[in-house]
Amino acid sequence: MEFQLCLSLFTITLATILFVRTLLRRNRRVYNLPPGPKPWPIIGNLNLIGSLPHRSIQKFSKQYGPLMHLRFGSFSVVVGSSVEMAKFSLKTHDVLFIDRPKAAAGKYTTYNYSNIAWSPYGAYWLQALKMCLTELFSAKRLKSYEFIRDEEMRSLLRDLHAAATSMAGRAVTLKEHLTTLSLNVISRMREVVDKVGGSVITTPEQFRWMLDELFILNGVITIGDSIPWLGWLDLEGYIRRMKKLSNMFDRFLEFVVDEHENRRRQEDMVDVLLNVANDPSLEVKFNRDSVKAFTQGFHRKVPDLFAGGTESSAVIVEWAISELLRKPEVIAKATEELDRVIGRNRWATEKDIPSLPYIDAIVKETMRMHPVVPLLAPRLCREDASVDGYDIPAGTRVLVSVWSIGRDPKLWENPEEFMPERFMGSKIDVKGQDFELLPFGSGRRMCPGYNLGLKVIYVSLANLLHGFAWRLPDGMTKEQLSMEEVFGLSTPRKIPLEAVGEPKLSTHLYVAV
């Protein structure tokens, strides 16, 4: 009897749900969505997206065209893979696509969307962007920190020279040096110890782990990001990892902010952030979490802040050297340019950048083939839009595949070939105006740190090539060098590059402070 009652109740509830759904669907506008693979119930097309989403997407856009519709669980995703589609979403209708979708990483690892990259479109983001442009990355501010970047560069070269000398012809792991540099100079860090309790807050090893974890977790799409009603299960364990990371970071960032508040010197970007946060004229208040979120978001990217190197720059430089090791003739041309312009008695500086067009071409070619953010950061469509007869409903997540654009044979001759010469004499730049090459994105949501990033990339690459003759480890051929990548917030090499760098200049140049 009880069973029958339950069954009737269940049937009535189900019938009501179906009836309401049919009514709602009848009133819903029918959209003409762009073409794309047929989605499965619940998961949509997630089964088609492998561990390298940019490559899966490139494959499908060849089949479905430059504007493609996918379903990631409960959400519609539109991917633009051509110059026209990039222009449409990043320039012509920039304001329609200026928002960011919500994701667990933004919530748990950046103080509930308090950093700039995850912050939704609105007064808070506008004010944060203004602060970036006028306070943190203004030409004047970047210039005033040039000496720190120079100091870091010399420390990298000294460090590599010492490693090369002690290793006597054996390979070094280049990226380790590029990032160890940043760790060494992060607050000139050894161990961060609580001054009152005496307990260790963060060791350099923990800090390195935290940074890696931050980059990994900010690049993942959790099941809950695509299928929110399954989020609570945390099937992949990502949320647990995010919460753990967030606690560890918070202890560290509390320490950093406290220290800066107590010493109150005008030295680095945390001081600048604190000054801005304390400005009573701000329309939207930046609280302590904002300062911590900006600090955390920037530290690996902004040499000025903790005087560290940059993850994105390190990734790009590592890719550039990897490509060059497969093309000795490119190294020879770069060396010729450096010898001619810089000479063998000094290092390259930021002032030399305009005089090094071949180095510039290598950097552009590296960013074309290895964009650090191959699908740019996801955007959210704020209102219904249409393009080429297709609809993009409000709430759709929008990706721009700069990976596909950079490998489009209609735009690039032999796109899989590393050929810096293609940029010699070309007007194409990376600053968001040329839609064939958008490593920093474009429009109002474009990377605000691009100028700084470029300075670091140019000078480190120029000096790595100027100061060292690079070759593959003994016994390894260029065909054996893996060029696989991993997808995340940055897209680094899967296997860190190991290479032998033989010092080329007089010893005193490396050891001089």
Q: Tell me the C-alpha distance between 148 and 483, whole Å.
A: 33
Q: CB nearer to ligand HEM: give 387 or 446.
A: 446
Q: How many helices (H) and strands (E) does the chain have?
A: 20, 11
Evaluate whether 358 touches 420 at the Cβ level (below 8 Å).
Answer: yes
To the nearest 10°, the Cα dihedral for 257, 262, 266, 267?
-60
Nearest-approach distance from CB 140 to ligand HEM, in angstroms: 16
Q: CB nearer to ligand HEM: give 248 or 447.
A: 447
User: Measuring CA to CA, which residue among 347, 336, 284 is closest to residue 149?
Assistant: 347
Q: CB nearer to ligand HEM: give 101 or 224.
A: 101
Residue 283, by phi and psi: left (phi above 0), alpha (psi -120 to 50) or beta? Answer: alpha
Nearest-approach distance from CB 486 to ligand HEM, in angstroms: 16
Which residues lie near ligand HEM (CB under 6 A)?
Answer: 116-117, 129, 298, 301-302, 310, 312-313, 372-373, 376-377, 439-441, 445-449, 452-453, 457
- Residues flagged as binding site for heme: 447
Residue listed under structure tokens 């990897």: 322
Residue 418, by phi and psi: left (phi above 0), alpha (psi -120 to 50) or beta? Answer: beta
Nearest-approach distance from CB 451 to ligand HEM, in angstroms: 8
Nearest-approach distance from CB 215 to ligand HEM, in angstroms: 12
DSSP letters spanning 232-298: GG-TTSHHHHHHHHHHHHHHHHHHHHHHHHHH--S-SHHHHHHHHHT-TT-SS---HHHHHHHHHHH
Nearest-approach distance from CB 395 to ligand HEM, in angstroms: 18
Nearest-approach distance from CB 493 to ligand HEM, in angstroms: 15
Q: Tell me the C-alpha distance between 418 and 110, whole Å.
A: 37
Q: CB nearer to ligand HEM: give 45 or 312.
A: 312
Nearest-approach distance from CB 18 to ligand HEM, in angstroms: 40
What Å distances lie between residue 416 and 202, 274, 404, CA to CA?
43, 46, 11
Q: CB nearer to ligand HEM: give 76 or 310.
A: 310
Q: Tell me the C-alpha distance between 324 and 362, whole Å.
A: 9
Q: CB nearer to ligand HEM: give 93 or 333.
A: 93
What Å distances lie between residue 429 and 342, 360, 422, 432, 454, CA to CA?
24, 10, 12, 8, 12
Q: CB nearer to ligand HEM: give 70 or 430.
A: 430
Q: Quote the tokens at residue 177.
A: 């040096």
